[in-house]
Amino acid sequence: MKNPVFTGAGVAIITPMYEDGSINFDELGRIIEDQIAHHTDAIIICGTTGECSTMTDEEQLAAIKYTVDVVNHRVPVIAGAGSNDTDHGCALAAKSAECGADALLMVTPYYNKTTQAGLVAHFTAMAEAGGIPVIMYNVPSRTGLNIAPETALELSKHPLINGIKEASGNISQVAKIAQLCGDELNIYSGNDDQVVPLLALGGKGVISVVSNVKPELVHNCCKAFFDGDTAKARELQLEMLPLAGALFCEVNPIPVKYAMNVLGWEAGECRLPLVEPSEAHKEYIEKALRAEGLITE
C-alpha cells in the first residue's frame, strides 16, 4: 500500500506575473499564505495552471524553491516537472527534488507522444532521476496521449510512482484504474466537476483550479466525503459547478488568472500565446464569482 502524497484539495496554483512578464514572487507568497489559511491541503506549483510551459527551467526551479521555502513543510509541495523530452524531464525532476519538493507532477509526453511501452520507459526514467514520489498527469485533451489503465497498473509497480492525476474526464477509465491498481496508485481528480465521482471510486482528492479562488469550498467538499457526509460532499460539488464552468470557459489558466485579478490579487496577464478572455467571458467569470459571494459590491 502506498500512502498518498496528500489527501483532499491541492491547489494547482497560478504564477502571478508583473507587467513585463517576470514572476511576481511577493504576490506568489501572499497567495500561498492565503491558500494555507483557507485549508488547502497541498500546493502544486508549476503545473499547467502555473504556466510552466512558457517558463525557462531557471524560472521554474526558482518558483519551486520559493514555494518550498514559503510553505516550510506546512502542507506538501508538488512540483510540475514533466517534459516531452525524457532527458530534459529527468534533469528537471532531479533539480526539482533538490529544491525540496515533496513530490513531482509529471505529464505525459505531448506532441511527439509515444506508445504505451514508451510511457512506461518515460515515467520510470523520470521517477528514478527525481528519487521522490511521482504523480503522473493524464490529460489527453492537451497532450493527445492517454495513459491506458493497464499501463497505469504496470507503472504502479514502481515504488516511486505514487499516484495519477486523472483529467481524461472518462469515469469508466478511472474505475478501471482503481480496479486494477487498488492501493498501489493513488487517484486524484484533474477536473473540478468530477471530484466526488472520483472520491467515490477510492480517489484521494483533487488537484484543483477552483481552489485558487475559493480553496475552502474544494477542501470542505473533500473533507465532507472523507468524514462520511456524502450528502454534504454532493451539495458542495454541485455548488462548485458554476465556478468550474466559468474557470474553464477558455483555455486554463486564462479564466482563473483573470478571476484572481478581479478578486484583487496582482495575478497579472498570462504569457503568450495565452491572451485575455473575451469580453463576454469576462462577464461570465465575474457573474460566477458574484454568485459565489466572492464579489460583493
Give me the CATH number covering residue 63: 3.20.20.70
Q: Is residue 152 part of a domain?
A: yes
Q: Is residue 165 part of a domain?
A: yes
Summarised one tens digit per residue, pLDDT across range 42-81 is 999 999 999 999 999 999 999 999 999 999 999 999 999 9
- Rounded to an integer, what distance in angstroms lies between the CA atom of residue 76 and that of residue 17? 23
Residues in the annotated binding site for pyruvate: 49, 207
The overall average pLDDT reported for the chain is 98
- Rounded to an integer, what distance in angstroms lies between the CA atom of residue 43 and that of residue 66? 12
Q: Is residue 257 part of a domain?
A: no
pLDDT classification of 215: cutoffs 50, 70, 90: very high
Query: Of 290, 269, 236, which Cα lies nearest the Cα of 19?
Result: 269
What are 148's three cell numbers? 491506458
Q: Is the pLDDT of residue 18 over 80?
A: yes
Query: Of 270, 199, 269, 275, which Cα lies nearest the Cα of 240?
Result: 199
Confidence (pLDDT) at 209: 98
Catalytic annotation, pick one of 65, 95, 165, 257: 165
- Rounded to an integer, what distance in angstroms lies between the CA atom of residue 266 and that of residue 131? 35
Amino acid at 23: I
Tell me which residue range forms the domain holding 184: 8-233
Q: Is 258 a catalytic residue?
A: no
Residues in the annotated binding site: 49, 207
Q: Is residue 264 part of a domain?
A: no
Q: Is residue 242 part of a domain?
A: no
Catalytic annotation, pick one of 65, 95, 137, 214: 137
Distances (CA, A) of 194 to 36, 139, 174: 23, 14, 11
Q: Is residue 278 part of a domain?
A: no
Q: Is 137 a catalytic residue?
A: yes
Q: Is the pLDDT of residue 136 over 80?
A: yes
**Helix, strand, coil abundance in the chain, percent, nearest 5:** 50, 15, 35
CB neighbour list of residue 121: distance below 8 Å, 6 or more residues apart: 86
Summarised one tens digit per residue, pLDDT across range 246-261 is 999 999 999 999 999 9
Q: Is residue 205 part of a domain?
A: yes
Q: How many domains does the chain have?
A: 1
Q: Is residue 95 part of a domain?
A: yes
